[in-house]
Amino acid sequence: MRLLRWLWRQAVILGLGAFSVWIIVFVIFRITDNRLPWILAVAVTYGIAAYIVLPRVIRLGLRFVQRSRVPEYTTAGDGLPGDPVNLALIGTLAELRAAFAALGWTEADRLGLASSWRMAVAFLLNRPYPSAPFSTLYLFGRGQDIGFQKAIDDSPRKRHHVRFWSMNLSRVENTLGTPAFWLKSSRPPDGDRALWIGAATRDTGFALTWLSFQITHATAADTNAERDLIVSEMTARQLIGPVKAYDERSELPQKRVNHYHFDGDVSVASLTVQGRGSGTTVVS
């Protein structure tokens, strides 16, 4: 029975792959090639394939290929695993913003046509864009609530960055350690103390996404280092209280997601007000 399920999954993947190639090469490219110069036809075909066809085919495939595992990592728009979750801070939105401002980090602009165009130009010409937008990753059924970054050598191609999703503290206490913790949830009011669950990584340059081949930032494989950088800087500035490592993901094989390597620990701490106070953690 297990062998039959495996064969069925492989057949679905192979069939969807063949269907994608047929649509892209024999339908989309043939139409564009008959109407546009060859170079433009290739460019238009790439855009339609990478940003319309392949993401939808991937999502369809994932509906058939059930992975049966708790999503302790973010997902991209095409449904594939994104950045691992490795940081959690407790406090209000104002406290979160104040803490990263004290470290010299900049809040990311909202992703839109204008900010995306500005980012593309800055990336191509290597011009500084301290508040460049982030691509959208998903956790708890929604995109990130807020993100912060710090450019490396004033380049938009290299940066430290972290995305955050907020969660009501009462929900944390009731569902932590269960699959229900990772289900869809709404964002709590900005003035409330919340658990801000973060995925911190370091951008290193240019890359194409796996399977859909969309243009994106390349990221360093070691997410432990990025998490530890944020924790150490906040600890040095007394912006957080005692830090506790919480391992929610020991069941993941080799503690690896995508090309990332990580130790499975989520560093949890409470934000302090303007660097004062000891702070306490909810996770125990």
Residues of the chain whose pLDDT is less than 70?
1-2, 6, 51, 58-72, 78-80, 177-179, 205-217, 248-262, 273-284
> Cα(100)–Cα(33) distance, rounded to whole angstroms?
49
Query: What is the pLDDT, as a whole number, of residue 266?
Result: 85
- The whole-model pTM stands at 0.72
205-259 pLDDT per residue, tens: 665 555 555 556 577 878 889 999 999 999 999 999 999 887 755 443 334 444 5
Query: What is the pLDDT, as a whole number, of residue 257?
Result: 42
Query: What is the pLDDT, as a whole number, of residue 46?
Result: 82
Query: What is the pLDDT, as a whole number, of residue 64?
Result: 55
